[in-house]
Structure 1
Amino acid sequence: MENHRELASFRYYGIAHIIRSRRNDRSDRCTTWTINPPVVKAVNTVGCGDTLVGALAVGFYNHLTYEECLINATAAAVSNAMEKQAGKVDIEKIDQYKQGIILKKE
């Protein structure tokens, strides 16, 4: 977030989680995670961001830890990238993709 007031305004409206991709700036008021997905030869990346956000929402709804949410969502997005059809996720392969994810809290 750009400043503390901006972050506070999100919290005022009940927004508990803010996720930004490829964040270059570091804020001492936010936790930063680096997620490295497994290296795969993507077939189709259409819908990967939507898949990631949807899987994050499911994880938060089910009260998973941040780590679990981020790993599950990344694995779902990788699975989507491996399918010809946009928005398709192969549930059978999620655990396989999860094994190749490197997650670091900075």
Structure 2
Amino acid sequence: MPLGVFTLLTTAGSLLWNTVFVLTGWTLGENWSLVRKYVDVGTNAVVAAVVLAVLVFVGVRLSERRRGRHVGGCGPSGLPAVIVGAAARLPAAGWSACEWRTTA
């Protein structure tokens, strides 16, 4: 994603998110403590979901590597998307994707 588009979308999302929280706080005033317990439960649920997702991801990756099923062969098709862009420029430097991957 181009940096300008990323910056624009991040700014718009942050503006919306912060506006919702500021207006909610202003509306609740001194009664914010009434909803704090619900927010705490929601926060704990989100943290638990993220931790679970990371554990599942790592577990699947380790399992694939042990079984030899992990996609990661030589060439851009087996590399992560971030590396594909760099790998496309390798021939100009006189390197192949396999050489770059094993030596970098």
TM-score strictly above 0.5: no
Q: Which has the higher contact order (CA 8 A, sep 6+)?
A: 1
More strand by share: 1
Structure with the higher fraction of residues in helix conformation: 2
**TM-score, normalisation: structure 1:** 0.22
| The structure with more radius of gyration | 2
